[in-house]
Amino acid sequence: MPTIINPISLEPRPRVAVPPSAGGFRKPKYDCQGRADEGVTLTVYVPGVEAAGVGIEARGPDLTITARKTRFVRVNWQALHLESAQRDYRLRLRLGVGFAYRDMQAEISQGVLTITLPKRQESVRAAADSRLARVA
């Protein structure tokens, strides 16, 4: 029975780093807890991220959290298929228009990002609902 054996390439692997954005982002683990009339508390687990690497953006009903890790490049660095473990984090959530995004508070400690979103006041919520009713 014939066997096909592929030749071994003796060329060295390239030592060029893959840019972090080329591999994309990965979705972090998170927990969302609603509080009665106060709002929502989001807990996002982003190990290896410091406060300077966190970006939070609210557009309409969507909340986008981007967390970039700090990178230290060593002189003798060589890729060992760790690129997927070193990707940055991005979390997109559709929370709705019932929250006061301008009054949001966030803090990070040891890779745990905690975001507190208070609910909107009723007068502001009623105005938003009337705008939606006019569109529909």
- The per-residue pLDDT of the chain, averaged, comes to 79
pLDDT of 6-19, one tens digit each?
666 666 655 555 45
Domain ranges of the chain: 29-71+81-135
Give me the mean pLDDT over the 63-92 stretch: 77
| For the chain, percent of residues with pLDDT exceeding 90 | 43
Determine which of 51-60, 64-73, 106-115 has the lowest per-residue pLDDT on average.
Answer: 64-73
* Residue 100 CB partners (closer than 8 Å, separation 6+): 39, 117, 118, 119, 120, 121, 124
- Is domain 29-71+81-135 in CATH 3.10.270.10, yes or no? no
Global pTM exceeds 0.75: no
Contact of 117 with 101, CB cutoff 8 Å: yes
Mean pLDDT of 3-7: 67
